[in-house]
Structure 1
Amino acid sequence: MSRHNRGSPYYHNQPPVVRRHHQQQLPEERDEPIDVPNAIATMPVRITGYRPLEPASALQSIAASNCLMVVQCLEPIEMMTGIETPNRYIVHDMFMRRILYAHEESDYWDRSCDRNRRSFDLHMFDNRRQRIMSSSRYGGGSCTCSPDVLETWHRGNSIGLLSRDMFDYRFYLRVAGCPTEFCIVAPDSAQSNPACRTRHTLPFPIYVQGGAKVGEIVRLDPGYLEWVSDADTYMIHFPVDMPVIIKMLLLQATFLIDFTYFEDRGQQGNGAVVVY
């Protein structure tokens, strides 16, 4: 853990550490929910028009949560050889219970050539191995002038679109059928210099149309794990009463942020942040 972050409210939620044989330490279940710093108590605006998701145990847990933790799994082959392998993630609820698993589906050549701008499909499953939803990224690729788009699907229906225009540092989230737009803003330190050397806790604030803040996606300080792996840990916090479909779309946004800023350790930034 960087000495610059010992005063951070997320210090006690530090990411997994590397042990012998590349074993990964995952968060342990708790009897009490974790304490989320700077939590938003309730939604400042009323959200209407969205598509309700069909009931599932994982979705019910997320509906009752005010935060999620996303842990990217360590990839021993990638760590030893440098060959880019598909990303895998484990999602925990506010009691640190493992409720969702996500894995990337992509082409080897895309991972090798396009790296953090590669197109992919990301599939998400619950503990019963039932698919909850999938996301598709397109528009990235080797051409840095094209917009970046992530579309999320649930049971064959498109439920949301996350987009970022060329040279922009803001991700815009549009929920299917909902007139309200969300904006996720990247911090300065993720934009300037290679993000891989930014050993700090990095918050990506989430704003609703009109400027009210409704949560954050926080990339936790990876500590010395940064030097051997590009696996990261994220905290997402939001109001408990936020519609579960928007919570799930913010989860998908976390994956795109991970790819955009922290997947390619040689990535350069593209500017500074302007207030939304």
Structure 2
Amino acid sequence: MMATPMYAVTQKPGMNEVHPATVPSAVPMPPGFVPPQVAMMPVPQRPPGCPPGLEYLTQVDQLLVHQQLELAEVILGWETNNKYIIKNSLGQQVYYAAEETDCCTRQCCGPGRPFVLHIQDNFGQEIITVKRPLRCSCCCCPCCMQELEVQSPPGSPVGYVIQNWHPYLPKFTIQNERGEPVLKIVGPFCACKCCSDVNFEVTSLDEETMVGTISKQWMGLFREAYTDADNFGIKFPQDLDVKIKAVMLGACFLIDFMFFETQN
């Protein structure tokens, strides 16, 4: 069940800030907690045929995904629900994402766990739901590859991310709502690189033309060693179908869990 946003939006005319900032949360905030001010992306006009809430994606060619640092994970090694703030290239908040899994699943299944991610806009409305079923994480089982479903609005699929079997490279296919292949994602041979970003290329179906990238950004030695809170950058053509942009955002979360959500 999605929690009701803890803070209301009070936006002044001509300003793109919240006072205090609205940060929807899957858990109640402690008494007296006041979140920092966050600049919000203005709401663009929704074009015909665009699912509600995806009109933000018509104005961007890049998204920045920041996973929030959880002290319980750093100090105790106790896996908590992941939370992400999604921004545009100007640093304005576009969406907020919160994982929904039970405690037993998080501790027992670790990064291979099934999950539901609820993605809200700045007004607390859920506009994207990302679902990952439980699948075998062993690359030796080509009959049981990872997959992801992206819905917008919740309950209406707009696309899928399907892992393709390959002996040494991480590969995925982005499909539209009809299950038709649209794009490919090809990752590096080794996703563990020190002091540099890790790039997953988004390409045409023949893998000849690069369309965009999903990059895990290097966060510094201390944070990389002691936390699993990661930052990602997603680049795509601005005129790309907003539904496929939403599926690429879902693919970013799948990549995070598969390759960078290490247990402390």
Shorter-chain TM-score category? 0.7 to 0.9
Q: 1:236 to 1:27 in 2, by over 3 A?
A: farther
Which residue is equivalent to 1:247?
Answer: 245
CA RMSD of aligned residues (A): 2.6
**Which residues of 2 match residues 237-276 of structure 1 at below 5 A?**
237-265=235-263
Secondary structure of the corresponding residue to residue 62 of structure 1:
helix
Which residue is equivalent to 2:156?
Answer: 157
Which residue is equivalent to 2:185?
Answer: 184
Aligned partners of 1:27, 1:92: CA distance in 2, in Å? 14
The equivalent position to 1:227 in structure 2, one of 210, 225, 228, is 225
Aligned partners of 2:241, 2:217: CA distance in 1, in Å? 25
Q: 1:147 to 1:52 in 2, by over 3 A?
A: farther
Aligned partners of 1:200, 1:221: CA distance in 2, in Å? 5
Of structures 1 and 2, the one with the larger relative CO (CA 8 A, separation 6+) is 1
Which one-letter code corresponds to 2:91 in the other structure? M
Aligned partners of 1:260, 1:178: CA distance in 2, in Å? 22
Which one-letter code corresponds to 1:153 in the other structure? Q
> Aligned pair count?
215
Determine if contact 2:137/2:145 at 8 Å carries over to the other structure: no
Which one-letter code corresponds to 1:116 in the other structure? P
Q: 1:140 to 1:62 in 2, by over 3 A?
A: same
**Which residues of 2 match residues 191-206 of structure 1 at below 5 A?**
195=192, 198-206=194-202
In the TM superposition, residue 55 of structure 1 has moved relative to its aligned partner by 3.8
The equivalent position to 1:118 in structure 2, one of 113, 116, 125, is 113
In the TM superposition, residue 81 of structure 1 has moved relative to its aligned partner by 0.5
The equivalent position to 1:218 in structure 2, one of 215, 218, 221, is 215
Deviations 1:114-137 (A, max 9, x none): 211110111100010000110110
Which residue is equivalent to 1:72?
Answer: 67
Which one-letter code corresponds to 2:226 in the other structure? V
% identity of equivalent residues: 31
Which one-letter code corresponds to 2:176 in the other structure? V
Aligned partners of 1:189, 1:233: CA distance in 2, in Å? 18
In the TM superposition, residue 175 of structure 1 has moved relative to its aligned partner by 0.8
Which one-letter code corresponds to 1:71 in the other structure? H
In the TM superposition, residue 165 of structure 1 has moved relative to its aligned partner by 4.0
Which residue is equivalent to 2:14?
Answer: none
Q: Which segments of 5 or more consecutive residues in structure 2 lack a partner in the other structure?
A: 1-35, 42-47
Mean alpha-carbon deviation: is it higher for 164-173 or for 253-262? Answer: 164-173
